[in-house]
Each structure stands twice: as structure tokens, then as C-alpha cells.
Amino acid sequence: MADQHTKPLSVKIESWLPYALPVLGGTIGVAYVNMVPTAFLNPVAGIVLGAVAGRIAAFFIVKAMRKSRRKSGGQ
């Protein structure tokens, strides 16, 4: 067990960001729809927009992290 290779923290973060940020965005969408009920004709639109925004943010953050790791000579 002690000789198992452990992944760097940046790789672990890269692996969960595409899952966590859409969930966070959807949750923020739910909160926004609950606080401002007249903001959207369909409340699901706020949730979907939050999830899509989270997915787009995750894409660009992971892309920047990979680019940074390549420059520094990491994995």
C-alpha cells in the first residue's frame, strides 16, 4: 500500500471539477429562482442556466490548469 502512486492534488481537482461546478451552478440556480420567483417564465430555466454556466466554467478552469501544469513540467 505504501508504494502506490498518489496523484497530485491538481489532477484530483481536475477530475472532480466537471462534476462539482455544474451541481453548484444548478444549486445557485435553485436558490436564485426561489429568491426571485418572477425572474424566469419557467423556473427550470434558471436551474439549467446555472448548471450550464457551471459546466462552461469547469471547462475553462480545467483547461487553464492543464496548460499551467504543462508549462511547469508536471504530469
- pLDDT value, residue 71: 81
Confidence band for 75, pLDDT divided at 50, 70 and 90: low
Q: What is the DSSP string of 5-71?
A: PPPPHHHHHHHHHHHHHHHHHHHHHHHHHHH-TTS-SSHHHHHHHHHHHHHHHHHHHHHHHHHHHHH
Its pTM stands at 0.77
pLDDT single digits (tens) 1-58: 555 568 888 788 888 999 999 999 999 999 998 998 887 778 888 899 999 999 999 9
